Amino acid sequence: MPTVGDITQFLGGQIFGRTTLPDVDLSGKTMIVTGANTGLGLEAAKHLAKLNASKLILACRSIERGDKAASVIYDETNCKNQTEIQVWELDLADYQSTFSFAKRVVEELPRLDGFLANAGVEVEQFELAGDLELTLKVNVISTFFLALGVLPKLQETSEKYEADTTMTIVGSLIHNFAPDNQLDIRKEKDIFLELSRPEIADMAQRYPLSKLMSHQCARQLAKHVSATAKPGSTHVTINWANPGWCATSLVRSKKKSLPELALMPLIGWTAEYGSRTLVYALTAGKETHGCYLSESQVKQESSYVRSSKGQEIAQRLWNDLITRLREVRPER
């Protein structure tokens, strides 16, 4: 649970923090945004178009909704002359869709300069997707399966063009408030499977917990990239970013507590404002590798994530994730 310092940082950032957009030109670059048809993803995609990204891929569950989002971006940014927008289907609740998307990225794209892993779900009722609870599968397992799947294209682009490439995982300040005690699962057990048991699934706390787990896995992914990089070569920057507490469709669709109802109008941000930090992180460069960004700057994560126990659990989560990847990934 959060310390006083965690709560102070959250409130200070939300009330006094400021987000900024990067002053960069993305001409010639290819960017992917998942969950790009609404909310933070759509607003981030608009900003990338305004920054002259040459190719912008909107990854969405629905091609129809993705096409509508593309039309909105073209209309609002007047970017048709410099940005080609493509809509690719992606459903993170479906392993086949996840792996097919990654395969398409590797095989079809000449280059990939930035990947914004924004797609996620927040549900109130327990629901299985295969053998995993839906929130865990989408927000953690498949998010990192996809991250590992597109990583080779980011690395190839970095080496071939001597360019900075970045993967940004969308985190959340709410990881500070996650019930970390729910991760205290016996070492011989698979954490994801245990948390997918309906009799112990605390759905009221599931979204914050999934974001905590995402932060922990992002740390492990950054370590993996650093450990496997060729000596002397440039490598992909992995960072994760908090867009702030924003009034998005994801937030609006859930039942709110009285404090949430009272505070959102006072200190909540718009999706556009929150998306600026995501775009900032995606273009911030190698100095942010392995870092958490909030309010368009590097910040500390929760005390739990930084603790020895939190790091031990992070390694277990990563091991369980990689074991599952080996079991379900299609033969190459």
What is the side-by-side strand order in the sheet with 297-299? 84-89, 55-60, 30-34, 114-117, 166-170, 237-242, 291-294, 297-299
Instruction: Give 64-70 contacts, CB < 8 A, sequence gap 24+.
Output: 65/37, 65/38, 66/36, 66/37, 68/37, 69/36, 69/37, 69/38, 69/42, 69/45
Catalytic residue among 55, 137, 207, 292: 207
- Contact between residue 128 and residue 44 where contact means Cβ atoms under 8 Å apart: no
Q: What is the CA radius of gyration of the chain?
A: 19
In sequence order, what are the beta bridge partners of 168?
Answer: 116, 239
Catalytic residue among 46, 211, 280, 292: 211
Distances from the Cα of 223 to the Cαs of 81, 147, 227, 274, 276, in angstroms?
39, 14, 6, 27, 26
108-132 core/surface letters (b: 16 or more CB in 10 A; e: else) = ebebbbbbbbbbbbbeeebeebeeb
Annotation marks residue 207 as catalytic: yes
Annotation marks residue 161 as catalytic: no
At 260, the amino acid letter reads E
Enzyme catalytic residues: 207, 211
